[in-house]
Chain A
Amino acid sequence: MSKKLLLTYDHIPGINTLDVYRQNNGYKSLEKALKTMTPDLILDEVKKSGLRGRGGAGFPTGMKWSFLAKPEGVPRYLVCNADESEPGTFKDRYLMERIPHLLIEGMIVSSFALGANTSYIYVRGEYFYIIKILQNAIKEAYAAGLLGKNILGSGYDLDLYVQPGGGAYICGEETALIESLEGKRGNPRIKPPFPAIAGLWGCPTVVNNVETIAAVVPIINDGGEEYAKIGIGKSTGTKLISASGHLNKPGVYEIELGLPVEEFIYSDEYCGGIRNGKKLKAVVAGGSSVPILPTELILRTANGEPRLMSYESLGDGGFATGTMLGSGGFIAMDEDTSIVKNLFTFARFYHHESCGQCSPCREGTGWMEKILKKFIAGTATLKDIDLLWDIQSKIEGKTICPLGEAAAWPVAAAIRHFRHEFEEYVNNPQSIHDVKHYFRLNNLVEA
């Protein structure tokens, strides 16, 4: 049985209410933090835990917190990134819906550690019912003296607000999120300066993912060293995996990092195998931006070792034979899935979501979508495969933010591991059916 740190009580009726949450170990870390610890001690525990950003980048959280500038008389802000928009990812939604107080507790403890007196939870606009759930939970917390002035008699003040987005994947990038929070278009900023120096309204700001903030609660409750005992190598603790696609039991699973991928896919404790008795064909292991891998490479590394659910193991082999843990958006595709068509849905997504600032991304995502349309329509040539490769290779490293890379990597990986499928679409166009209707649906050319 996997140890659970975040979803321990998710099955308890009413756990989304303050009373039931408190009856189940709720707000213990807040009492411990405010009454017995200093901000520096809390930072130490987070560093010891080895916690890494759970939104996708996996940057060490303790290190990110330690970068926060502390000039005199300038307010600092903690902003929670609940913009969850990476295709395949729905774990933050689950956590906020089931146990909103876990996030709020984490926000208060983290804000105290960072010296912030006003903090925001930026939630993607489409999660409107989640926003209402969070606002209700925040009301409960204020009423109980867990937010507002002089929390638990500690002398610490914190105001916590929920900010809705307007529908833009790019606002999951921390500087675009800050721009949006300032009431502007979600255009990422050039870094440096990093938000830790100049973020929200030019003030020192830390932006952390929902799950990262939630993890601070068990880290303070049990100590950073205890947290680091779980997991493997530099992948400590537990991770929420959003499993979807052609699985028997899709859903959100909290796993100990280091779990074998094969066990995650096939055991009854987790996804229960591929549905309808089909065979697995490919997996996108960490959200749409990470390289797709065929079955043999997702179950085992190129060296033949069992692949584990961890940052290091999934990254083994670089992009040649590996992928990334990313957001943990685990999409499993069965033997009947068209890799090319799935890639098209990704390409369409990135083109739609590009903010448009950088030419390689704005134009490149458009071209990749257009060329992939040709494959679906049966009008592509073999040269188009090389053209696709060429376009994606010219985006990396040439943009203000990583959305460009995120759009390029899936294209590269699909060609790298499934080139024969692209060739099949070229050599055998009648393998695509219902093309006309498909194009009309998506406002594409002619019909």
Chain B
Amino acid sequence: MTATSEIKFSVEADKKAQEILQQYPKDKSKSALLPLLHLAQAEFGGWLSVETMDYVASILNIQPIEVYEVASFYSMYNLKPVGKYLIEVCQTSSCWMCGSEDIVRYLEQKLHVEVGQPTQDGMFQIKTVECLGSCGTAPMFQIGDKYYENLTFEKVDSILDILRQENKYSRYV
């Protein structure tokens, strides 16, 4: 467990945080909470520990509970560690109709892992999510800030290969 004092934005992340804070009236800095949580999640291992959330609270000078309640409401914030590559497969309506279940099944087989658990090497994790606004190019999944559309099993294979080679965190930043 990392101590609170060890959680601190890098110089670059701090610069981004200051840019975010500029967007609101000075006394309305709480509006920076959602974007700061995205930034913190990307900075500190792809998830939000209690220590990370407390750190964000201290930046905004608000109570920790105000951060916990927001982090627990929105689906993009991970409150537990996740795989390096979080594969978010859309499962709603048009994606379901065009084979999203087959894609999930295929991923589970290829990665030898069930939905919701990281692979043994911590590299991948499959998450089923709701409509991602890509219905016309279904089935699809999102990894980090990239959308992978019109999926076939062959495309899934080549995407996984490329990600394994690149081997770097892919987050929403």
Q: A residues bordering B, Cβ < 8 Å?
A: 84-90, 92-93, 120, 124-129, 132, 161, 163-169, 180-186, 201, 242-246, 250-252, 284, 288, 329, 331, 333, 337, 341-342, 345-346, 348-349, 352-353, 355, 437-438, 440-443
User: When A and B form their complex, which 4 residue pairs have the shortest distance between CB atoms, in order from nearest?
Assistant: A166-B74, A244-B135, A167-B75, A167-B76
Could you tell me the dominant secondary structure of chain B's interface residues? mixed
- Chain B interface bracket (under 10, 10 to 19, 20 to 34, 35 or more): 35 or more
Cross-interface CB contact of A245 among B94, B108, B137, B145, cutoff 8 Å: B94
Contact B74 A168 (CB under 8 A): yes
Instruction: In the complex, identify which listed stretch (B5-13, B24-32, B151-159, B160-168) lies at the interface while the others stay far away.
Output: B24-32
Whether B119 is near chain A, meaning CB under 8 Å from some CB there, is no
Complex: A246 Cα to B133 Cα, angstroms: 16
Chain A residue with Cβ nearest B131: A87
Contact A132 B145 (CB under 8 A): yes
Contact A88:B94 (CB < 8 A) given known A201-B28, A244-B138: yes
Contact A166:B34 (CB < 8 A) given known A288-B93, A329-B135: yes
Contact A128 B172 (CB under 8 A): yes
Contact A246 B97 (CB under 8 A): yes
Complex: A348 Cα to B69 Cα, angstroms: 23
Contact B31 A252 (CB under 8 A): no
How many A-B residue pairs have C-beta atoms within 8 angstroms? Tell me: 167
Complex: A132 Cα to B35 Cα, angstroms: 13
- Besides A244-B135, A353-B130, 7 more A-B contacts (Cβ < 8 Å) are A126-B76, A165-B34, A181-B31, A182-B28, A183-B34, A288-B131, A349-B93
Chain A residue with Cβ nearest B172: A128
Contact A125 B31 (CB under 8 A): no
Contact A166 B76 (CB under 8 A): yes
Contact A168 B101 (CB under 8 A): no
Contact A345 B136 (CB under 8 A): no
Complex: A164 Cα to B97 Cα, angstroms: 29
B residues near A124, Cβ cutoff 8 Å:
133
Contact B133 A127 (CB under 8 A): yes
Contact A164 B38 (CB under 8 A): yes
Task: Tell me the residues in window 82-118 of chain B with beta carbons closer than 8 Å to chain A beta carbons.
Answer: 88, 91-94, 96-98, 101, 104-105, 108, 114-116
Contact A84:B133 (CB < 8 A) given known A166-B70, A182-B28: yes
